[in-house]
Amino acid sequence: MYEPSIQTLLEPLQIQKIKQGDSSAFEELFHSYYSDLCNFALKFSPDASSAEETVQEMFFKFWEKRNDIQIQSSVRSYLFGSVRNLCLNHIKHSKIKDRHSQYVRHTQNEQDEGAHSIENVELESKILEAIESMPEERRKIFRLSRFEHKKYREIAHDLGISIKTVEAQMGKALKFMRTELTDYLVWIVVFAVEFIDKFLSNG
């Protein structure tokens, strides 16, 4: 029997509808996130079709246990978190089955065995999950700065917003990511070189 708590009533309408068995609302959710989730899963799966399998598996489980779901953060963050967990489980299982299988796609230096360790995958997937969990504008700004190395002024111009907004969003982005990665900070080695360069050029 569906019995809503206060928590449920505060959830977005779409989620409430899904919990009540509304398959149209569920279908909408599926189509909105499917491609982004597959791209995310692709980084931690052997190929595109496993990535798709994993995402479908996540949605299947979501529907099956819809009544028990409690979304504390955002829907987006919940979905990416769930896909991440499934990917990590698959990797762990396959590592147990075959110690020599290269389950993880090569994103880093191939000579370094350590690059494929489960800890690295956990960290990297957590970082990507955190980036994906951010609201759209913040995510765009962060990506333009961190991956395309654009200056704040350029970002402000590209997105049609003020530099102040870019500054504020970047602050929020990094603060958020730091919170998400709190448990992993011990694993991260300081990338001193990059930092020192910037420090020196600032004088």
Partner 1 sequence: MENGHSYHIDEALLVKYLTGETGTEENDKVLKWLEESDANREYLDSLQKVWGVAGNTGYEKPILFNSNPAWEKLQQRILGNEITKVIPISQARKPANLRILLRVAAILVLAVGSYWIFQTVNGPGQDLVALNSGTETQINSLPDGSEITMNAASTIEYKKDLKGDKREIALKGEAYFKVQRDIDRPFVIEAGGALIEVLGTEFNVKAIPGDSLVEVLVSSGKVKLTGSSEDQAVVLNADEKGVLNLNTGRIVKIETPDLNDLYWKRKILVFRETGMGTVIETLEEIFGKKFIVEKPALNKCKLTATFIDEPIESVIAIIASTFNWTYELNGDEIKMNGEGC
Binding site for partner 1 (CB under 8 A): 4, 9, 20, 22-24, 27, 30-31, 34-36, 38-39, 42-43, 48, 52, 55-56, 59-60, 63-64, 107-108, 123-124, 127-128, 131, 143, 145-147, 151-152, 167-168, 170-175, 177-178, 181-182, 185, 188, 190-191, 194-195, 198, 201-202
* Shorter beta-carbon distance to partner 1: residue 70 or 182: 182
* Shorter beta-carbon distance to partner 1: residue 99 or 136: 136
HEC states along the chain? CCCCCHHHHHCCHHHHHHHCCCHHHHHHHHHHHHHHHHHHHHCCCCCHHHHHHHHHHHHHHHHHCHHHCCCCCCHHHHHHHHHHHHHHHHHHHHHHHCCCCCCCCCCCCCCCHHHHCHHHHHHHHHHHHHHHHCCHHHHHHHHHHHCCCCCHHHHHHHHCCCHHHHHHHHHHHHHHHHHHCHHHHHHCCCCHHHHHHHHHHHC
Q: Shortest Cβ distance from residue 14 to partner 1 (Å)? A: 13
* Shorter beta-carbon distance to partner 1: residue 103 or 144: 144
Q: Shortest Cβ distance from residue 98 to partner 1 (Å)? A: 25
